[in-house]
Amino acid sequence: MSDPKPSPPTIFARILAGELPCHKIYEDENVLAFLDIFPLSPGHLLIIPKEQKAYLHELSAGSAAAIGRVLPRLARATMAATGATAYNLLQNNGAAAHQAVFHVHFHLIPKIGDRGLGIGWVPGKLPEADAHHMVARIQDALDSDLS
């Protein structure tokens, strides 16, 4: 049996490799931030790890920490530059969750007038028994996740 075909590099991997251009805002050893080319609002930017993983849950603790460290600074700079006083952070995982580029990325989306992230939010109910059951299941999974 032949090996599975390697998947082609994502757009963001090609940006990281210098094969495609981007409007770079910030770079360090682990992180790159650049403007989204189809912005929901002025200043909409993407923050990506240099580590090439499709989903957040695959990311190393080091990459996750490096992104977390720089997010507040990028948010302050984007608010100062755009005049926005509100913004959303969005991080999609999986096609069903609206992910189009399969390299981890955080969207930082300023809310400027009616421009920015529109959210469809349909809250359910949380009966006490369901809450206890869910807490137990997630805590069990946490306990068996040794990474």
Identify each DSSP E strand in the chain by its residue range.
24-27, 31-35, 45-49, 86-90, 106-111
Closest approach of ligand AMP to the CB of residue 70, in Å: 18
Q: Is 105 tagged catalytic?
A: yes
Contact range with ligand AMP by CB under 6 A, out of 30-38, 67-75, 76-84, 131-139: 30-38
Q: Give me the least distance between CB of 11 and ligand AMP, in Å please.
A: 5
CB nearest ligand AMP: which residue?
Answer: 38
Nearer to ligand AMP (CB atom), residue 58 or residue 140: 58
Which residue number, 22 or 31, has a Cβ lying nearer to ligand AMP?
22
| Count of H-run helices and E-run strands, the chain | 3, 5
Q: Which of 114, 119, 103 is nearest to 53 (CA)?
A: 103
x/- track of binding to ligand AMP for residues 81-120 (CB under 6 A)? -----------x-----xxxx-------------------
Tell me the H-state helices in the chain.
Answer: 11-16, 61-82, 128-143
Residues 79 and 72 sit within 8 Å (Cβ to Cβ) = no
Query: Tokens in use for 96?
Result: 């069903």
Residues that are catalytic: 105
Residues engaged in binding ligand AMP (CB under 6 A)? 11, 20, 22, 36-38, 46, 92, 98-101
